[in-house]
Structure 1
Amino acid sequence: MAKKDTKEFIQEIQSGYDHKGKSIFLGAGIFEGKTNLEAKVSIPLATLNRHGLIAGATGTGKTKTLQLLSEGLAKEGIPVLLMDIKGDLSGIAKEGEKKEPIEKRSKDLGISWKGEGFPVEFLTLSQEPGAKLKATAAEFGPVLFSRILDLNDTQMGVIALIFKYCDDLGIPLLDLKDIKKALQYLTDEGKEEIAKKYGAISTSSASTILRKIIELEGQGGEVFFGEPSFDVSDLLEKKGDKGQISIIRLTDIQSKPRLFSTFMLSLLTEIYANFPEAGDLDKPKLAIFIDEAHLVFDEASKTLVDQIESMVRLIRSKGVGIFFCTQSPTDIPSPVLAQLGLKVQHALRAFTANDRKAIKQASENYPITDFYEVAEEITQMGIGEAFVTALNSKGIPTPLVRTLLAPPASRMDILTPTEIDKIVSSSDLVSKYSKEIDRESAYEILGKKIDNIAEGEEEAEIEETGESNKRKKRTKEKEDPGFLESLAKNPLARDVGRTVAREVTRGLLGMLGVTSTKKSRRK
């Protein structure tokens, strides 16, 4: 590599990072161990719907970079959605405290630092404080629902049949117990009803689907499916001239990667379906940051990964930018990684042979540079330093630059439970989504049909048993004619007989009345 001097470095950074139009200031370039204030690194707002990656080892400053970008977007009136896995992003709601490290970093960058808090809404998939996020099974649709369960083509056909049957009859599919009840009905009591019109369902396919649903329930899926459904337009709110920062608290989801993948894909699908086409905007309509992004892909099937890849590629036309935050670029599937325009690479640690291999792969993900030995320097960067490359206003990748990042203006720590409760208690969204709705759906409607069928079979059995007893009685009378004669002559027997006959008649009339009512209801 030919030796380059500082002047050439500054010229390349200045020409590569054009500062036309609005942008978010990240920091200043570092070359040969020195910070160069003339080598400013700013990301144009117009390119932030091209998605991004924030990567680096634990403790290198990824969360603070995520915080810095979120603040920059919110200041420009752009709403932000943060998926908070570790629970350390809540501090963005309160202004930061000026401490010695912040003062030193601000002086090194030649900036004036001032603490600032941002408008925050807390959302939750579980029992964490915040507005409940839910979606109905019907909103997923048969294709997406099948992909979440990782079903084969035959099993996908069964799910499509269930959705079609319920849709034709106007039976709501709201949650997982609705799907299970529909599956039970269509493979047992209702199998003859559907066979001619829709086709039969094999027992083996039904059993496999049921096991997959139970697996999803085991990861907390029953909490997510239901009503009221979350309206994604609520993510686009502003508070004054600042964009609202919505934080989804996911601290109890780390052990449930299937639920996390399910939720993320459903959210992106819902946004894509409901947001209008936006084309090229001067700034994104919404930015989504997914912390600990490897959880999205850890247990995702190839089909699910393909679906996420397609969604990442398509959703930018809606003015939405998605940013994955994880330890290594290798955590993100290559087809998804190829879609990411902004890349912020914090330090990686080389403790093992696998670590060194990952570092080599990571360094090859970035533009070739004449100023750095990337594979070497990537292990030597300090906290709050990162290699950065983005897209300029013309959509051209910028030069790779080692950057000293600016400190966030908000608190670099979590909120106390009291502070969180105060935000939650004053939230309009929490009030809107706090009601539990359990209206009549497939579980109740098909459950009644199953009960009615069972009662009908029981009544038929009783009638058949009664006819059999009558035949036996007539046979007995013919064989022993003196029995009735002796009974008729006994007064006590006559009274008992009348009482029994009256009660039997009442019972029979009551049974017929119930049967008649049920038949009329079915009609």
Structure 2
Amino acid sequence: MSTDTWDMPGTILVGKSATFERLTLSLGNRHGLVTGATGTGKTVTLQKLAEGFSNAGVPVIAADVKGDLAGIAMAGNGRAALTQRAAAIGIPYEPDRFPTVFWDVFGQQGHPIRATIAEMGPLLVARLLELNPVQEGVLNVAFKVADEQGLLLLDLKDLRSMLQYISEHAAELTKSYGNVAPATIGTIQRQLLVLEAQGATSFLGEPALDILDFIATDRDGRGIVNILAADKLVRSPRLYATFLLWFLSELFQQLPEVGDPEKPKLVFFFDEAHLLFDNAPKSLMDAIEQVVRLIRSKGVGVYFVTQNPLDVPDTVLGQLSNRVQHALRAFTPRDQRAVKAAADTFRQNPAFDTASVITQLAVGEALVSMLQKDGTPEIVQRSLIAPPASRVGPITPAERQAIIDNGPITGKYDTAVDRDSAFEILKARAEGRAASVAPGSGQPSSPQANVPQAGAPQAASQSGGLLGEVGGALGRLWNSGASSRGRLSTGQMVMRSALQSMARSVGTQVAREIIRGVLGGIQK
């Protein structure tokens, strides 16, 4: 791809070899890969690509593992290294800042991100808990019974109560669902304690995230750059990987088919991508491959950032078309094999030996191969990567807080909501049974009155269809009494978010029954 100007419409400038190297926006949803050893410039390349997508009106989501991506929210400071690189490429250096929203699963360095247990689904929860197949089967029973009895699973205490319920009624449930061993339930309960210690309590609950809040532009038409603070999250690899996979599956479910648009609807950058694949079971690997392959038609581009292409499974690697390879070092025989494997993934350039060049690249240099307009990969080129216009490096806590306080969604997710769900309902049932014991008899006045049978039709049945479930759920919310309304009156935005979350948790029960399973929503 060659031209005399660097600012060609419909493209993002990546760098320059003999000609300017660009990413074509209409092919931005064909996914990509940025690789290289630590300190070779991967993060700067990610930042440059994110700026380009934002300028084109494409929202971006990026996991900030080291804290230095946050600088995209502030104008560049014109460091000599950056201005000199711009001059060498032949482009102007113009400092700029980009519209940014900070997010944090733990709610410490950005707006909180929450998902409900029901939205996660049994497979992702099992992944979080590191359950074996037998334990995962019991977890599926808990989800099934909760669905049948209209019990919302929103947070960890709901799931813990549901597990206790099926333990108490194991004899009845075994007839319909097979063996439900109390020892297995006890193991799952202990794993919940481990998950709670890792900070998952702040992630699992309400108000649940509205995915569409990530797909927005500012008043100038530039795409919002959503920065996920992941420096703490990455120390809990299970939570990190599961969150990202859940997020992709939610995008897959909610976004309409768009085919190949003029530009992506959203671009997602996965930093430290190897955490997604380390020790992942085959079912999860199959799900990742399926999401990456199918989400392209939703207009979503997925870009993996990691040290070596070997970190990414071949089935996923084959889907990543736009490539930037920074330097790798070959100090050991294993490193040498990795370099050769990285070189073999490119369309070879007869002008140089790709494997040799990979070990010779300086900081800020990379091998670049983007898709051409006809959909074929370019011959790999040795390029100097264009410098970002925003600040390279972290921002101060005061700068971050100012952006959070003045952002477009301030107040929407900041206050947690705890409405009646499985925990409260099962607790009320237990208290009702205790109150119904006749004085001196030692027996409940009606043994079956408060123990719904597994598989039995419930008051909140699915006979009304999907819209009936949504309407019924909202009606019960508004007529549930003053105490429920009191909990939800923390602000208009929180109320709206809670309603949306209820619609997703209850209203999509029929659909979730069909598509829950792999990734909590891709296939059963």
Same-fold call, TM cutoff 0.5: yes
Shift, 1:350, TM fit: 2.0
1:218 aligns with 2:197: yes
1:230 corresponds in structure 2 to: 209
1:47 aligns with 2:27: yes
Q: Deviations over 1:117-161 (max 9, x none)?
A: 000000110142321111111112334434554545544432232
Q: How many residue pairs are counted as aligned between the two chains?
A: 450
1:244 aligns with 2:224: yes
Shift, 1:20, TM fit: 8.2
Q: Distance in 2 between matches of 1:196 and 1:158?
A: 14
2:43 corresponds in structure 1 to: 63
3-state SS of 2:410 partner: helix
1:333 aligns with 2:313: yes
Asked whether the equivalents of residues 100 and 227 of structure 2 are also in contact (C-alpha less than 8 Å), the reply is yes
Give the alignment of 1:101-500 within 5 angstroms. 101-188=81-168, 190-239=169-218, 240-453=220-433, 462-463=440-441
Counterpart of 1:220 in structure 2: which amino acid? G
2:11 corresponds in structure 1 to: 23
Shift, 1:341, TM fit: 0.7
Q: Deviations over 1:390-430 (max 9, x none)?
A: 21122111111111111100011211111111101112323
Q: Which runs of 5+ in 1 are unaligned?
A: 1-12, 30-35, 466-514
1:9 corresponds in structure 2 to: none
Q: Distance in 1 between matches of 2:186 and 2:339?
A: 44
Higher alpha-carbon deviation: 127-136 or 116-125: 127-136
More helix by share: 1
TM-score (norm 2): 0.80
1:480 corresponds in structure 2 to: none
Q: Distance in 1 between matches of 2:21 and 2:308?
A: 22
Q: Which runs of 5+ in 2 are unaligned?
A: 453-524
2:70 corresponds in structure 1 to: 90
Q: Distance in 1 between matches of 2:447 and 2:229?
A: 49
Shift, 1:61, TM fit: 0.7
3-state SS of 1:312 partner: helix
2:521 corresponds in structure 1 to: none
Counterpart of 1:62 in structure 2: which amino acid? K
Asked whether the equivalents of residues 85 and 387 of structure 2 are also in contact (C-alpha less than 8 Å), the reply is yes
Asked whether the equivalents of residues 56 and 345 of structure 1 are also in contact (C-alpha less than 8 Å), the reply is yes
Asked whether the equivalents of residues 142 and 160 of structure 1 are also in contact (C-alpha less than 8 Å), the reply is yes
Q: Deviations over 1:368-388 (max 9, x none)?
A: 221221111111111110001
3-state SS of 2:238 partner: helix
Cα 1:215–1:306 shift into 2, 3 Å: farther
Q: Distance in 2 between matches of 1:406 and 1:297?
A: 30
1:505 corresponds in structure 2 to: none
Asked whether the equivalents of residues 346 and 379 of structure 2 are also in contact (C-alpha less than 8 Å), the reply is no
3-state SS of 1:313 partner: helix
TM-score (norm 1): 0.80
Counterpart of 2:441 in structure 1: which amino acid? E
Shift, 1:43, TM fit: 1.0
3-state SS of 2:359 partner: coil
Q: Distance in 2 between matches of 1:430 and 1:153?
A: 42
Counterpart of 1:312 in structure 2: which amino acid? V
Asked whether the equivalents of residues 216 and 258 of structure 1 are also in contact (C-alpha less than 8 Å), the reply is no
Q: Distance in 1 between matches of 2:37 and 2:141?
A: 47
Counterpart of 2:50 in structure 1: which amino acid? S
Q: Deviations over 1:246-273 (max 9, x none)?
A: 1011111222000001100110011110
Which of these two proteins has the greater Rg computed from alpha carbons? 1
3-state SS of 1:307 partner: helix
Shift, 1:242, TM fit: 0.7
Asked whether the equivalents of residues 261 and 300 of structure 1 are also in contact (C-alpha less than 8 Å), the reply is no
Q: Distance in 2 between matches of 1:424 and 1:349?
A: 39
Higher alpha-carbon deviation: 91-100 or 198-207: 198-207
Q: Deviations over 1:303-332 (max 9, x none)?
A: 222221111111111000011111111111
Shift, 1:355, TM fit: 1.7
Cα 1:371–1:310 shift into 2, 3 Å: same
Q: Distance in 1 between matches of 2:318 and 2:430?
A: 51
Q: Distance in 2 between matches of 1:219 and 1:354?
A: 34
Considering only aligned residues, what root-mean-square deviation do their CA atoms show, in Å? 2.7
Counterpart of 1:463 in structure 2: which amino acid? S
1:6 corresponds in structure 2 to: none
Counterpart of 2:12 in structure 1: which amino acid? I
Asked whether the equivalents of residues 128 and 239 of structure 2 are also in contact (C-alpha less than 8 Å), the reply is no
Cα 1:278–1:456 shift into 2, 3 Å: same
Q: Distance in 2 between matches of 1:150 and 1:273?
A: 25
